Structure 1
Amino acid sequence: MSDLFDQSPATGPARDAPRPLADRLRPKALDEVIGQQHVLGPEGPLGVMLASGSLSSLVFWGPPGVGKTTIARLLADETDLAFVQISAIFTGVPELRKVFEAAKIRRSNGQGTLLFVDEIHRFNKAQQDGFLPHMEDGTILLVGATTENPSFELNAALLSRSQVLVLQRLDLVHLELLVQRAEKELGRALPLTGHARETLLEMADGDGRALLNLVEQVAAWKVDKPLDPDALSTRLMKRAAKYDKSGDEHYNLISALHKSVRGSDPDAALYWYARMLEGGEDPRFLARRLTRMAVEDIALADPQAQTICLHAWETYERLGSPEGELALAQAVIYLALAPKSNAGYAAYKAARAAAKKTGSEPPPKHILNAPTKLMAEQGYGEGYAYDHNAEDGFSGQNYFPETMKHGVYYTPVERGYERELKRRVDYFAKLRAKRQGG
């Protein structure tokens, strides 16, 4: 049976066909891979597996252009497994059956198969389940690649049979090493000044493949003198920042914004706010999340924070972009600098937990209305103390169910306006104890 999916040299391009620079510089051995030593080094998980001769199924999780496909291919070489590559975007159930059948034939002939599945999170649950029996009986060693969080995108059964390895975006040092390799391959230096070279590295945004594509463009230019950053930026479009409004990066950045606000760092908060806007985030989503921060993390320590957010949201709706985004930015600054308290949030959760536990307990009869004679005869409203007639406008009566102790859920902090609320809470607690004791 012919193997339509095996990417062997015999089915590849002719030897003299032009090849992209990224393909020409593809590492020939694992020790040539740049930037993933935490995984490939002697103490890294893959280094340990290879040293022990026991390679398990894997899921590579990381951004584009960091070497997921290259490492998978080299692992097959290291372990003498046939390398088969498919993409979940273009592969359906019929094609998967052919892949598994070809792997079974290889196995019967004494050779194993490393099946590399790019964008594995694109497979649905049923398709992911289809890999399990072939992983369990040794027909395939699965290596999946995903840019999305496997915890959310992959089945628990598949994850339990695999080890997730996190590959990191390439930093500027790693990208510079790639450029040096490219220059050696090309036989000449790039026509860039030092600052322009740094700009080129930044344009790649941690993606090695994108960087080599940019290098290939720059190397083809015929210029009289090295280009400065402005000239480079004029000739090259900056690579769009990696951002998927429905994907993992979306949640990572909103988490970074929220925690920067909670940590009272207006500069970091503005940076993550700007990052999300640059990535194309809907400002209305940001307005909603800012209002949530005001309610959850600031609350009564600064009651004005919620109003500021709602006004900024309304301003954006009236002005639109870009002016309305400035109103939201000002809300970001205000929230970051506002006093913080989650006392109200904690009190609400504690009250919900108590209500869930004692959900059938009736209110005490003295605080129930008695609109009918029968209800009055049953004691409804009997003994109720009207607070406005009491000394200091406070009766100190019990309002919890009679079988419950008086709950204490709200504990204000000594920050912002909650200092005043704490003073009131303490005042009424003392007065309540005095009235009930008397």
Structure 2
Amino acid sequence: MKKPLSMRIRPKTFDEFVGHKDVLTRDFKEKIRSGNVFHLILWGPPGSGKTTLALLIEKESGLDLIRVSGAEVGIKDIRKIIEEAKKKREFFKKETILFIDEIHRLNRKEQDFLLSFVENRDIVLIGATTENPYFYIVPPLLSRCFLIELSPYSEEEMKSILEKGLKETGIELNGEAKDFIVELSRGDARFLLNILESLEGDIKKSFTKEEIQKFVLSKRIKFDKVEEHYNLISALIKSIRGSDPDASLYYLMRLIEGGEDLNFITRRLIILSSEDIGLSDPFSLVLATSGAEAVERVGLPEAKLILSELVLYLSKAPKSNKVLTAMKLALEDVKKYGNIPVPLHLRNPSVKGLKEIGWGKGYIYPHDHPEKKIEYLPKELKGRKYLK
């Protein structure tokens, strides 16, 4: 049985690696080749070369690499790997790279568990993620790693990868067909190679643009494309906003079955509870936050039930965007008028002498005098109404 195409044409050295020349500097390569591998977080969209780069670091450094998935590994597994790595370092003076694919799928407890071992360099950590690490990786762990952002491949780089794939598979494409596959893949090398690998199984070896179009449309491909990822979350949010519980539940299941990160879903639902429901049902924010915590604790498959309850509640809740519109109006004035001085009567005369120059003078404690009203906004904004 043939290996996947991506494995068959995977580069064996840094010099064979396509693209990311801003990352693969001379200094970077020399340090890796000397065995001086630092803790890394590789952040980039699907098919941008994160796994390939990690495996190249293994080859070029001469270190051993253990690869796990953040979606499947737990503390027990990590502890076992680290204990073996510590023994290897003690007896053979050789470090071990722990490569965690989808590191953003580790929960906070699992990430915290890694901290001391990363700090003591019991393992060399390399994590790969498609999600913004500043949102998904705990700051203490992130601060101990170098962050490398990998951009989608350029058109020329994709053409180079395509030519390697064509040579390996023996498939022939005319110029129009090549351009179509490159454009369709949008910088995702894995997607491009998956198309070629699917075509490789056909009796034919030569394809036109039209034939490839029909082939791609006829395949029911599990999403890993960035645009489909955002299309589905957009459909979920708009269905909830439009108070359609059935459509909301459908798109939620599409996301989960498509392998979407549950933290990404819950974060968007928390935002929606303020943006689209807000003051019409303030409990929705409490429920969304509580639901996010429950999902993280329980995990799949039971988390589907929790998310379903949350999505159905939010879709049935009364809708209001008053919080959003009020926030935008206030922000407009902040940008327009800049740092207007706080009125004297609202300032805190905490330091001796400030009271004498008018700080706090005229302020009325509303609990003692509910019948009296004072101005709270600066005089330049007198009469402004943000919440309508």
Q: How much has 1:279 moved relative to structure 2?
A: 6.0
**Matched residue, 2:302:** none
Q: For the Cα contact (< 8 Å) 1:22–1:212, is it kept in 2?
A: yes
- What residue in structure 1 maps to residue 316 of structure 2? none
Match of 1:141 in 2: 124
> How do 1:375-394 residues align onto structure 2 when only pairs under 5 Å count?
none
**What secondary structure, in the 3-state scheme, does the structure 1 residue paired with 2:380 have?**
coil
Q: Would the alpha carbon gap of residues 355 and 128 (structure 1) be closer, same or farther in structure 2, given more than 3 Å must change?
A: farther
In 2, Cα distance between equivalents of 1:222 and 1:244: 30
Does residue 175 in structure 1 map to residue 158 in structure 2?
yes
CA deviation vs aligned residue, 1:161-217 (integer Å, no higher than 9, x gap): 11100011112211111111122223x342x33222211122223221221111122
Which among 95, 98, 103 is matched to residue 115 of structure 1? 98
Determine if the alignment matches structure 1 residue 26 to structure 2 residue 10.
yes
Within-5 A mapping of 1:264-279 = none
Task: Identify the structure with bigger relative contact order (alpha carbons < 8 Å, sequence gap 6+).
Answer: 2
1:199 aligns with 2:180: yes
> What is the number of residues matched between the two proteins?
281
Note the 1:88-99 alignment, pairs <5 A: 88-99=70-81
- Per the TM alignment, residue 361 of structure 1 is displaced from its structure 2 partner at its CA by 5.5
Aligned residue among 242, 246, 254 for 2:226: 242
What are the ranges of 5 or more consecutive residues in structure 1 without an aligned counterpart? 1-16, 251-275, 293-339, 372-379, 382-398, 411-438
Give, in whole Å, the separation in 1 of the partners of 2:124 and 2:162.
Answer: 34
TM-score (ref. length: structure 1): 0.55
Which of 120, 135, 144 matches 1:161?
144
Cα deviations across residues 255-282 of structure 1 (Å, max 9, x unaligned)? xxxxxxxxxxxxxxxxxxxxx5896463
Matched, 1:232 2:212: yes
The reply on whether 1:40 has 2:24 as its aligned counterpart is yes
Structure 2's unaligned 5+ residue stretches are: 243-270, 276-328, 349-359, 383-388
- Is 1:71 paired with 2:53? yes
Residue 305 of structure 2: aligned partner: none
Q: How does 1:313-328 map to 2 (within 5 A)?
A: none
**Residue 217 of structure 1: aligned partner:** 198
Query: Is contact 2:102–2:130 with CA below 8 Å preserved after alignment?
Result: yes
Q: Distance in 2 between matches of 1:362 and 1:98?
A: 67
Deviations 1:282-309 (A, max 9, x none): 33689999xx9xxxxxxxxxxxxxxxxx
The RMSD of aligned alpha carbons is 4.0
Tell me how far 1:75 sits from its aligned partner: 1.0
Q: Deviations over 1:65-122 (max 9, x none)?
A: 2221221122122222111111111111211111011101111122110110111111
Which residue does 2:380 correspond to in 1?
408
Verify the 8 A CA contact 1:243 1:279 in the aligned structure 2. Answer: no
233 and 244 in structure 1: CA distance in 2 versus 1, 3 angstrom threshold: closer
User: Match for residue 56 of structure 1?
Assistant: 38
- The residue identity in structure 1 corresponding to 2:209 is P
Is residue 124 of structure 1 aligned with residue 96 of structure 2?
no
Amino acid in structure 1 at the alignment position of 2:380: V
Aligned partners of 1:277 and 1:283 also within 8 Å: no
* Farther off after superposition, 234-243 or 81-90: 234-243
Question: How many Å apart are 1:47 and its aligned residue?
Answer: 3.3
| The structure with more radius of gyration | 1
- Whole-Å separation in 1 of the counterparts to 2:240 and 2:344: 32
Partner of 1:64, secondary structure, is coil
Q: Secondary structure of 2:23's partner? A: helix
Map of 1:269-348 to 2, 5 A cutoff? 280=235, 282-283=237-238, 343-346=332-335
Q: Does the 8 Å contact 2:35/2:62 carry over to 1?
A: no
State the alpha-carbon separation in 2 of the partners of residues 362 and 171 from structure 1.
Answer: 63
Q: How many percent identity over aligned positions?
A: 28
User: In structure 1, what is the Cα distance between the partners aligned to 2:146 and 2:227?
Assistant: 26
